[in-house]
Chain A
Amino acid sequence: MQPLDKAASDDDRPLIERVRRGDQDAARILFERYFDRIYNYVYARLGRVEDAEDLAIDTMTRSLTRLDLFHDQGVAFSSWVYRIAHNATIDHYRREGKATLVPLESATMPVSADPADLALAQLSNDDLRGALRALTDEQQQVLILRFFQDLTAAQAAEIMGKSVGAVQALQHRALGSLERALERRPNN
């Protein structure tokens, strides 16, 4: 997945204006630019292909048809799309009745845990994704945005509505929580 640099966000502006005027070609370009990213983001949160597809489509539909609600004042279009995706995910959790998770940062750390024993290379992608989904909502979000979506701390901060410092601190705690979640795996 290509990093979403600032140039891409700048390129969005004329396309957004064209979509507002009903230009379908411009809508297609924005769809192609964001659909895979949003799918990847939502899939990382939900872990189910069907749900991720539906939510990604729903996110893109909302993004491209409610442009009257998007005002390019300090927030990039990409951030706006991610926020829509995040809200859609939260709504999905509410509808599906996701169990309330105990924040792992407050969970008991195994006394004998030796991180060096963690054979990271041996971990499957599914192990990582599964452990990730055991984190709190914000911790999942920051790790997905930073490492799956390859966004900068500043971009993640804009999407999450936090300062860069807060995002960096959250990322640190989230990685710690993920480490503990991996250690607690049943077969670990």
Chain B
Amino acid sequence: MKNYKNINIRFILLLSLGIAIISGCERDFSDEVQFATFNNNGDIFTDAPVGLTDEFFDSFDPAGPNPANPEGFGTDDNVAFMGTSSIRIDVPAPDDPDGAFIGGIFLDRGDGRNLTGFDALTFFARGSTTATIGEVGFGTDFEENKFAVIAQNIRLSTDWRKIIIPIPDPSKLIQERGMFFFSAGSQSTGGFGYTFWIDELRFEKLGNIAQPSPAIFLGQDISNEVVNGMEFMITGLTQTFNLASGINQTVIAAPGYFDFSSSDNSVAIANESGEVIVVGAGSSSITAQLANVGAAGSLEVTSDGVLPTTPPPARLDANVSSIFSDAYTNAVESNFEPPFGGSVTNLQRLQENGDEVLVYTNNNFTGIVFNNTLDGTDRTTLNIDVYPLDASSVEVQIRDVGANQVLETNVITGLPDGDDADRRLLINGLTPGQWTSVEIPLDGDLAAQKNNLGALILAGGPNFIFDNIYFFTE
């Protein structure tokens, strides 16, 4: 009985507290205050666009390095799943002069829509052939893309088929302008163009989308050695729902849907953009939730604390041609983030005690491409100070680009092509947690050809720090 009474008293206390707070709210927000509520119409295209911008279709950049083809978009009054008209998309062949792929977004013409009452974007699709659409989604607005969602590899049938793209967490979408997103090329059709139609495009409340299983890092538990000041993104963000068909539909979800947390904020901070910033020595586990469901996957960061200073470079200026070092004037400027297709490398320039270093994370391959070639005839060796962040190895390829001054690489073998030559060294076995000066002699194929040194190619790792990159004469 005593317990019972206590509970009652506590309950009354809680209740009165609640009343106080509630009445406080009533005072603050009087009748004169009106909260903005946005259009909650889910329709996007039925027989015509519904509430979209006058442009209707906003293409990806037709003039960029990978130009989108804006010509293949339209509506078709001869084909419809329901009613009289559908959206028709003609996917170009890779050699189409107007661009090799088609893609873009549909934007709400107003301030955005309230989609909290829906659980999926749905539409009917039909292809001229059984192709696969690369990406389809919503939430991309060409601004913040804060709640972007992408479903990949949507399989077309030559008959109409309903496509369901679940919303990772509808409660986030109180004002969304990005109504639809797609990107399609001819990868799945062996380079032949094809047509697909979309009809009855809308947000819907299906009620049978369930069993959410969100993930970060694609559900993997990974661990990384880091140093203070490092910043990197939490990647591999997905949400998976079980549909009524029994299919588990996974979508790529923007960081905005997740709540990230760090088990020790004195070691690392995880912010709402999905960025991790290392602030102190020790270990911290980075995890996430999506709509209060714990995400599979985690990142354990172990910080060595402040990055130690590099071994002081002691060679005479006259004997050095520097690429990257605070100790020497650069002999040539370089592009540290060359647009190598397929590269997923992250590079962070980290300042510590007035010294700038190059922090590479998630490296598959990247390069340091010199703006002008360097005549290395008088140089004998390349120095790189390396601070490994994991036990794996990184390969450095010193490239002479030859008289034509063009970096030429065989895309199949990765070996130098044309008049190029290189010298490669796999850097491994270094002691973690300390700097090691690695010296690579300019021998092998470079012994006879080093007057047009043009690039350093960095392969593998994936996590390491470089400093004091310079050629010198022994």
Question: Does A pair with B?
Answer: no
- Chain B residues proximal to chain A, CB less than 8 Å: none
- Chain A residues proximal to chain B, CB less than 8 Å: none
